[in-house]
Structure 1
Amino acid sequence: MDSSEAVTTHDSTVDDWTRALAESTGSPGGGAGTGVMLAIAASLTSMVAGYSEKEDDGGRAASIRERAQQLRREALKLADDDSTASRSFGAAFRLEPGPERDGAIRNASVEAAKASAVLGERAIEAIDDLAWLADKGNPALVADVVVAFGALRAAVAGARTNVSFDLGSLRSAGTSLEDVREQHPDLWANVERLTAALDRIDGLAARIDDRAAPTDSI
């Protein structure tokens, strides 16, 4: 595939998409990778939930599986949306210094932060279902749950970092961080929620690590 072509998660093989990610173009970039990690976490959640349905009389596993399958599709779309935002972000910084460049950076930075914030919120919403599977899902799939937690953590960490970095990029257009916090309180608060989510995921994964990796205790 020509590296100059736009690739999407829906129209590319894994090989094509990761080859495009490996190029120094930024589209796809880390934000799109965050979306793919969320899709992987959702896919593993769906798999474990499917294996857990027979052990769950209340129907929770089936509901988790349905939500996870929907999240997988949404996460891939968000990954592609981020690739589009990345192109605008890069184009803004390539403009000649001046008011037009400053305005383009402001718009591109905020839009990129919003795209990553949506991804982060979807990742946060997925924690409860994976936590339920960690406690009540099929115990034979506990290693897959830990892998899912790892992918979900990567998605949360990626979203947190990208929102924070994009907000920080507003300084290139002459805006102070204090002004950024006042002008974009929801995005600022999103970073704090994502930071807390990282701590929660770490705690949940640590709680089942002895079951997933028993040789570590020897």
Structure 2
Amino acid sequence: MNHDDGPAPGTLDGMTDTDAVTTQRSTVEEWTRALAESKGSPGGGAGTGVMLAIAASLASMVAGYTEPQEDQGAELASLHARARALREAALRLADDDAAASEAFGAAFRLEKGPERDQAIHRASVDAAKASAVLGERAVAAIDDLGWLAGNGNPALIADVVVGFGALRAAVAGARTNVSFDLATLRSAGVTLEQIREQHPGLWSAVEQLTAALERIDHLTAAVDDRAAPTDLD
């Protein structure tokens, strides 16, 4: 989640708050134009969700082009269904993050005092939880892309690797956002040691997402000679 502690987010081209851009209703041009604005919503967390949706979409496409072996039909069908569902879920998570970013910014705009500290604490924990959910969904997709790397249509191995790149961006974004949001609790007078004790699940999520990045890198490297055969390195 990429947060803004400045003025409340504005709108584009005279749009009202009820017409604000979302991944569900806006074109790619409209959504990325909103992302380019210095207003914090949508921000990096929402972008993380979109990257996950791209990874899921590529997995779905490759699955659709893959002819299963005799004993792989059910497995491929389940993979294809998961990819389609993940695309939709990731876009919803992106929009949820954009909305949560506004609450986070609002907490920092409060007058300094106990009320502000409590608001920052709530917003930070909620933001970290949202990013952890997105990260969990991204990690769950690693196996499916790995399966497609080994069993998918070989003519689309480059698309699988692009999918891995998008998935890596989603995992890296989720990891960074969970970590950043937890660390923000220090603004409310909490130490890192206290944060780890109070939120062990979120703390361990950062470690799990770090391990997931290494796993994606390993899987990508294993098929690089097929995806980029002209690479001289």
Post-superposition Cα deviations, 1:142-198, rounded to whole Å, max 9, x if no partner, equal 000000000000000000000000000000000000000000000001000000000
CA RMSD, 1 decimal: 1.3
Consecutive unaligned residues in structure 2, runs of 5 or more: 1-11
Work out the CA distance in 1 between the residues paired with 2:156 and 2:77: 16
Correspondence for 1:27: 41
Q: Does 1:119 align with 2:134?
A: yes
Q: Secondary structure at the match of 2:223?
A: helix
Q: Does 1:157 align with 2:177?
A: no
Report how many aligned residue pairs link the two structures.
218
Change (3 A) 1:177 1:56: farther
Work out the CA distance in 1 between the residues paired with 2:149 and 2:68: 16
1:162-201 → structure 2 map (5 Å cutoff): 162-201=177-216
Work out the CA distance in 2 between the residues paired with 1:167 and 1:146: 31
Out of 148, 157, 182, the residue aligned to residue 133 of structure 1 is: 148
Q: Report the Cα offset of residue 58 of structure 1.
A: 1.9
Work out the CA distance in 2 between the residues paired with 1:122 and 1:111: 17
TM-score, structure 1 length as denominator?
0.97
Work out the CA distance in 1 between the residues paired with 2:84 and 2:229: 30
Q: Aligned AA for 1:35?
A: G
Out of 81, 104, 107, the residue aligned to residue 122 of structure 2 is: 107
Q: Aligned AA for 1:22?
A: A
Q: Does 1:8 align with 2:22?
A: yes
Out of 82, 85, 97, the residue aligned to residue 82 of structure 1 is: 97
Q: Secondary structure at the match of 1:169?
A: helix
Q: Any conservation in 2 of the 1:31–1:83 contact (CA below 8 Å)?
A: yes
TM-score, structure 2 length as denominator?
0.91
Greater mean deviation of Cα atoms: 158-167 or 55-64: 55-64
Q: Any conservation in 2 of the 1:31–1:159 contact (CA below 8 Å)?
A: yes
Q: Aligned AA for 1:204?
A: L
Q: Aligned AA for 1:129?
A: D
Correspondence for 2:231: 216
Q: Does 1:47 align with 2:61?
A: yes
Of Structure 1 and Structure 2, the greater helix share is in 1
Q: Does 1:36 align with 2:50?
A: yes
Work out the CA distance in 1 between the residues paired with 2:64 and 2:70: 10
Work out the CA distance in 1 between the residues paired with 2:226 and 2:232: 10
Post-superposition Cα deviations, 1:94-114, rounded to whole Å, max 9, x if no partner, equal 111111110000000000000
Q: Secondary structure at the match of 2:67?
A: helix
Post-superposition Cα deviations, 1:6-56, rounded to whole Å, max 9, x if no partner, equal 211001000000000001111100000000000000000000011113456
Percent identity of the aligned residues? Answer: 73
